[in-house]
Amino acid sequence: MGAVFFSTTATTIISVATTIIAVVIIILVNKFDGIKNGRDYSYSAVTNNKNENRKREENLDITLLDEKNRKKTYKERIIDKRKKKKIIFGITSLCIGGAERVLVDIVKELQNVYDITVFTIYGNGEFEKELKGTNVKLKTIFKKQREEYGYIARKIVTTIYRCFYNIIYELHIKNIYDIEVAFLEGPITRLFANSSNANKIAWVHTNMSLYYETTKYSKRKKKIDEKVYERYNTIVFVSKDSRENFIKAFPNNNIRKKVIYNFIDQKRIERKSREIEPYEIEPNIPSIVVVARLTKAKALDRLIEVHKRLIKDRIMHNIYIIGDGEERKNLEEKIKEYGIRKSFILLGKKENPYPYILKAKYFGLFSYAEGYRFSVR
């Protein structure tokens, strides 16, 4: 045993000694070669040469950086000065809708400055394709649109989502973002409320005083949301009226509140308004186009009553509704009952509604409540 140990130790010592000798020989050879060829490889000379080279490299780096910076945009120079912050925007889906349209426009503008993720509860929304080819990441829980699930499946999916907010948050979000933005009131705001993130923003697009009057289980939802909004550190509103109505609904809420108006890309709207010719609109009869989700809040049932009365008084006109939603069946039944199917037309979803607005004589907005009503001439 001792002999083996001695043999192993001796072998190790010889190996180390051989390595040291080899290194010394290489140094001596390099020194001799340097002197022979007029180059000094002594320690002081090498150090001086290194310092000179470092200075040249630093000067070159500064020159190259200056050249790069001159070619960079202001936005790119900002990014260089700080690490990209990770921001996640949450919304129910990217199906056709006003808040959805605004969100897509916002993240496309921010994608080069921040690391952006859009998180949806339901997938396969029409606006998702606008994010393909961009730097925006897309995450979703359920791959289909809510309406694509059958009645029973839809109930199961909704129940799973409502009962397991905490688990869903941990699985899909996990506090890995610098800023979390719940971009729409309702389910997504309740989900993001489970976060312990200090930078958590809720975005409100509607009149919250009326919101609970036009939704199912309004009293229960209002009680839940009163606690939910207390968990955010900032609440953003699309108008001053929206903020004031929120304060009326939740007078004890002391969270910081800010107003940020929705922006619109007017050039884009004008360009898209000329992409197609909407053959459905009758050119010889005065027409009104309404773009809205088919929900009670949009007051389309009231519009049907007004339309019926005007037709009865022989004030001829057609009304075209672009959009879809939970009230479609009820509206169809009322249209059939009043015998106005030829003059009150439900066109369904249109990814590009602007040609219809351009061709119509009037644009209509009849909602009981909106966060901020505006249109573009």
Residues 226 and 328 in one domain: no
| Pair (234, 298) in one structural domain | no
Whether residue 308 is found in the same domain as residue 230: no
- Say whether both 32 and 95 belong to one domain: no
Same domain, 218 and 299: no
- Residue at 4 is within a domain: no
User: pTM of the full predicted structure?
Assistant: 0.69
Q: Is residue 312 part of a domain?
A: yes
Same domain, 100 and 209: yes
Provide the domain limits for residue 344.
Answer: 278-364
Asked, for residue 268, whether it belongs to a domain, the answer is: no
- What phi and psi values does residue 141 have, to the nearest 5 degrees? -90, -60
| Close Cβ partners of 373 (under 8 Å, ≥ 6 residues apart) | 365, 367
250/183 same-domain check = yes
Determine the Cα–Cα distance for residues 157 and 142; give it in Å rounded to an integer: 8
Examine the fold and report which residue of 236, 263, 290 is the final residue of a domain before the chain moves on: 263
d(CA 343, CA 308): 9
* Among candidate residues 77, 108, 136, the one where a domain is terminated: 77
Structural domains of the chain, count: 3
Q: Is residue 53 part of a domain?
A: yes
- Kindly state whether residue 140 falls inside one of the protein's structural domains: yes
- Are 135 and 224 members of one domain? yes
Whether residue 291 is contained in a domain is answered as yes
CATH no. for residue 147? 3.40.50.2000
Whether 375 is covered by a domain: the verdict is: no
Q: Where are the alpha helices (DSSP H) in the chain?
A: 2-36, 43-71, 74-81, 98-110, 151-163, 165-172, 187-192, 208-211, 218-228, 240-249, 266-272, 300-312, 328-338, 354-359
Q: Does 250 lie in the same domain as 169?
A: yes
Confirm whether 3 is domain-assigned. Answer: no
Same domain, 192 and 92: yes
Q: Which residue has the tokens 């550190």?
A: 233
| One pLDDT digit (tens) per residue for the chain, 377 residues | 434 333 444 444 444 444 444 333 333 333 433 333 333 333 334 344 445 545 444 444 444 444 445 555 655 655 555 578 999 999 999 998 889 999 999 999 999 999 999 999 999 999 999 999 999 999 998 888 887 888 888 888 788 877 788 888 888 888 789 999 999 999 999 999 988 888 999 999 988 887 777 666 678 888 999 999 999 999 999 999 999 999 999 999 999 999 999 877 888 889 999 999 999 999 899 999 999 989 888 999 999 999 999 999 999 999 999 999 889 999 999 999 999 999 999 999 998 999 999 999 999 988 876 655 555 45
Domain ends where: 233, 263, 293? 263
In a shared domain, residues 249 and 290: no
Same domain, 124 and 187: yes
Interacting residues of 375 by C-beta distance below 8 A, sequence separation 6+: 363, 365
Q: Are 185 and 206 in contact (CB under 8 A)?
A: yes
